[in-house]
Structure 1
Amino acid sequence: MNINIKICEDNEVQLKYIEEKVKIILNDINCNIECFTSAGALLNSNLDKMDILILDLDLGTEWGIEVAKEIRARKIKCEIIFLTALENYSREGYKVKAFRYILKDDNMYAELEESLKECIKELYNKNKKIKIDTKQGEYYLDIDDILYLEVFSKELNIHTNDNLYKIISPINLFEKKLEPYYFFRCHKSYIINLKKVTRIEKNTAFIGDVLIPVSRYKFKEFKTLLAKALGDIL
């Protein structure tokens, strides 16, 4: 797998530094790196095959959030990592589904390394499928399409973006199958896709308008894993 990375930073010295650090971090991974010093140059480049965008929040005359909004408006599904000296804009990153929001401080390199490795893991896991057996036959579901699973009567209901699948299977078995991905057993009867959570309230998680209970004994762990899954921006 070849990873396509773009870096946009208006300070040429910092741009060169970030590029060199990315090369060191990903030295054992095939990747193409393109660098840009302006939003215009970035947006005029070929974005279709971009996997990861490392984007400075303050691009001088341009604002990184607006650049990210334009990229999302074009339906580009890359992972976005924001780099910035500003501390109070993490929730802005959430609006454009940013993968990480990293401050330009002494911990930047360590956080960039962790974020890139998590990004690569996410990219490798995309489009992974899982086989299920239903009364209607075999199905191969995209892992990323699964919203949550719930035990109902003697069946395990698998809720996806478009369908509901009913299978006969212990929830423990499915929990093991989903371990490499961003799923969490939040309740004895529920497994939730952490990447699909839209908000939390007390001991409850929401995926859109769907309410999913979170055991109070697991709520602390749930919040920790959720922050990691959503890029530590909640």
Structure 2
Amino acid sequence: MSNVTKQKVNVLVVEDEILLALDIKMLLTRLNYNVQEIVSSADKALNILDERAKEIDIMLIDIVLEGDKDGIEFARVIKKRYNIPFIFVSSYFDGNLIERAKSVNPYGYLLKPVNEKELLISIELALSNFSNQPPDKAISNKPWQGANTDTALQINDSLFLKKDQHFQRVTLDDILLLEADNNYTLIYSKSERFLYSTVLRKMEEKLPSGQFLRVHRSYVVNIQSVTGFEGNTLFIGEMRIPVSKQYREEVFRLFKAV
């Protein structure tokens, strides 16, 4: 297997209290998330997003910020320009503020001081809601009802796979194949394996059909990772993947046409 750098979930922290921001960064680092940047105002955050929005997976936004825009007004801009989930962080919990916050459909709401366990749960559920539902419907009066973090989250060109107690980003191109193991699914990336207590069919539904192909009742392969074939067998590096009779014609027609 080739050595591939593990990619962490990237977080943009928008917080004007520097000590609290550094505390949040420490918690996120301990939870194995990567803090892409800490900024104190909406304008500074927008400058970062204009340059590299694709590098940001989720944002933590203080409602009270430096500058002309507060966190809620900033969130309205995010909803219009970008497709990135965000969680509000605030010292306040009054009714009017909550109603304003709800109007922009956040993916979570954390009260200061931020607790490590609550932070972990909030990020996992925010990513889960963002992955599984349209952004404008992800948060209701009961935003996290039915969320399931024991699954792979497909966001843009990556899967967010659970590893220990955190999500790890794996690009679709880095996924080699999926293998069924009774009611579990093994996901092989270029650098490691992930085990999920989910049947293969459910995992297959999260993947783009133009790139991933069922070749056997126990295997789904990334067709871009196939390095060769012989008889009824595909090769992915040193791995040999059987192709069953019902998929044979479709599979080998595809590879012979390449």
Question: TM-score normalised to the size of structure 1?
Answer: 0.48
Q: Normalising by structure 2, what TM-score?
A: 0.43
Q: Which has the larger radius of gyration?
A: 2
